[in-house]
Amino acid sequence: MSDSLVQARGLRKWFGALEAVHGIDFDVQAGEVFGFLGPNGAGKSSTMRMIGCVSPRSAGELQVLGMDPDTDGPWIRSRLGVVPQQDNLDLELSVQDNLHVYGRYFGISRAAVRAKAVELLDFVQLTDRAADPVEQLSGGMKRRLTIARSLVNEPELMLLDEPTTGLDPQARHLLWDRLFQLKQQGVTLIITTHYMDEAEQLCDRLVVMDGGLIVAEGSPRELIARYATREVLELRLRPGARNGWDETLKDVADRVEELPDRLLLYASDGEAALAAAHQRGVQPVSSLIRRSTLEDVFLRLTGRSLVD
């Protein structure tokens, strides 16, 4: 058997007539941080739930921790740490009671779960709120508590579905640091996110999903090299003065991406592209030259909605 903790072949998911996942293949190796990127409705959460053994697959092969979710769901789940896209904390219990109760669902002894709760609250910096009802926490604090809760059983594999949505910048950096610590401890992480900087920072490897299919796979660096140029020239044009510009600019850059508020010109030399654009009489309100990022890869691969 291979070394992969999760192995999917031709994995599919239907909801009635709607096919949310269209047959995808991927492998997650022990110890890596693996990302799922993709626009809304791409099928990321549906895939995460199949891995989490809370949504039976419609077709294909799936192994998690070497087991089949259809037959060994409880066993697999006992080794997972899950941060769902939508929080599902018990709002009527206190912060620490949420951790106590959740730990007990895994069969952890009361004494052990108490000690663990203290450690976890410190880990997500919620110690001073331990006795407060969850109802009184801010959205970001609830998110941090959900993350702490997912660690109560010391999971081997974590499934984090948009873990940092709603967190302030400090909390996000705190979480990145914590996730990095977990990785150092040998925990395997599967993460979905809409923040490209986060994916670039955290993921060793990622796949981009669109319409239920995997459209690209690789490390952030590989993907940038494969799907974007070295530099990007961003031109902000006056509203209305834009029609036809992308025609004019076509041969200035390798590729032009049209966003609602600006044009992105992909070129190996941004300065040269800007000079050429000026030469053709383009007078942008502002311009910016930067390195390509994962966001550019994302736009290119999933950019269909951006044409309108």
Size of the site for ligand ATP (CB under 6 A): 12
Encoding tokens for residue 244?
């036809």
**Span of 65-73, 226-234, 246-254, 267-275 interacting with other proteins by CB under 8 A:** 65-73
**Span of 100-108, 162-170, 212-220, 253-261 interacting with other proteins by CB under 8 A:** 100-108
| Complex with other proteins: residue 54 or 289, whichever CB lies closer | 54
Cα angle 31, 36, 38; round to 5: 165
Task: Give yes or no for residue 56 binding other proteins (CB under 8 A).
Answer: yes
Element (H, E) at 113: helix 110-123
How far, in Å, are 6, 23, 209 from residue 47 at the CA level?
12, 11, 10
| Dihedral (Cα; 280, 281, 287, 290), 10-degree rounding | 10
Question: Where in 76-95 is the site for ligand ATP (CB under 6 A)?
Answer: 85
Task: Give yes or no for residue 107 binding other proteins (CB under 8 A).
Answer: yes
Q: How far apart are CA 50 and CA 64, in angstroms?
A: 10
Q: How far apart are CA 120 and CA 58, in angstroms?
A: 36
Task: Give yes or no for residue 136 binding other proteins (CB under 8 A).
Answer: no
Encoding tokens for residue 97?
């009671």
Encoding tokens for residue 3?
């070394």
Q: Which of 7, 45, 55, 193 binds Mg ion (CB under 5 A)?
A: 45
Question: Where in 51-110 is the site for Mg ion (CB under 5 A)?
Answer: 85
Q: What is the contact surface with Mg ion in residues (CB under 5 A)? A: 44-45, 85
Q: What is the contact surface with other proteins in residues (CB under 8 A)? A: 1, 3, 5, 15, 30, 52, 54-56, 65-67, 72-75, 77-80, 82, 84, 86-93, 97, 100-102, 104-107, 149, 153, 156
